[in-house]
Amino acid sequence: MSSKLSIRALQKSFVVNEGFGHSRTIHAIERVDLEIKEGEFVCVIGPSGCGKTTLLMILAGLYSKTAGEIILDGTPLTGPGLNRGVVFQDFALFPWLTVRSNILYGVRQKKLPTNSHDTIIKHYIKMMSLQGFEDTYPYRLSGGMKQRVAIARALALEPELLLMDEPFGALDAQTRASLQRVLVEVWQATKKTVMFITHDVREATFLADRVVVMSSRPGRITEEILIGLPRPREILSPEFVELERKLAGLIEKQAEGSG
């Protein structure tokens, strides 16, 4: 597999206004270097406040970087773009649009031919098991269904990179487990390149080809763990439990270091 995404010497600092003419600089990310291969599913984990979401927001073009470079398909990323699909924890659906119109929102931004819209909708509605909800508004959907729509909307862009920021974090355990299985199936069908942010080591072990561990702030990559388990994965298998325990220990070590 060739390199799809290259992150080199990435840094991010924020200036925080504390009032009365005082400000301070917070170093959120410090020299992050990471290569992600074509079609690879990478999970990023780390202690709270380590810069995981900041990293994703920079990749999405929603935050500017302080230093470093990001290369996607050989081209530097300098801002938002339709070559990236983003899924957030809070769904971020447009409440005034139906399921169909939410999914087509980015497609319309790409100015794809109108006569292709029905085919696109049917494909992603089926993929995410949303049949019968095409004309439903978000307020009538459960959290799990909303996130299915959000994932369908991101995939309908046919993005080169799918960015997911703790997308199942607000869901109950049963719905979360169900959507994790759905996401693995969708990824296996589409072979999209995925960066998935999570604080849940079991989720990372279940989903990822490779897990990247970040340090406490300022965030930097301290470990990269290959998850060599076949899919579908059995969370109670000794091999799974051992990898989960290893990742939990790495995060605990980083959290202790922040104190």
Structure tokens given for 91:
């769904």
> Cis omega (within 30 of 0) on the bond before 138?
no
* pLDDT given for residue 42 in this prediction: 98
Domain final residue, candidates 138, 158, 178: 158
Mean pLDDT by 10 residues, the chain (259 residues): 90 87 89 96 93 95 95 93 94 94 91 88 96 96 96 96 95 95 96 96 97 94 96 95 96 73
* pLDDT given for residue 259 in this prediction: 44
With contact defined as beta carbons under 8 Å apart, do 208 and 43 qualify? yes
22 and 97, same domain (yes or no): no
70 and 164, same domain (yes or no): yes
Is pTM, for the whole model, over 0.85?
A: yes
Domain count, the chain: 2
* pLDDT given for residue 257 in this prediction: 64
> Domain span at residue 112?
89-158
Alpha-helix residue ranges (DSSP H) falling in 23-142: 52-60, 99-109, 117-127
**Strand boundaries in the chain, DSSP class E:** 3-19, 22-37, 41-45, 67-72, 75-76, 84-87, 161-165, 193-197, 210-214, 221-226
212 and 255, same domain (yes or no): yes
Domain presence at residue 173: no
63 and 164, same domain (yes or no): yes
Domain presence at residue 183: no
**How wide is the angle at C-alpha 26 spanned by C-alphas 210 and 71, nearest 5°?**
40
53 and 1, same domain (yes or no): yes
CA separation for the pair 94, 52 (Å, rounded)? 25
48 and 20, same domain (yes or no): yes
1 and 61, same domain (yes or no): yes
2 and 77, same domain (yes or no): yes
143 and 198, same domain (yes or no): no
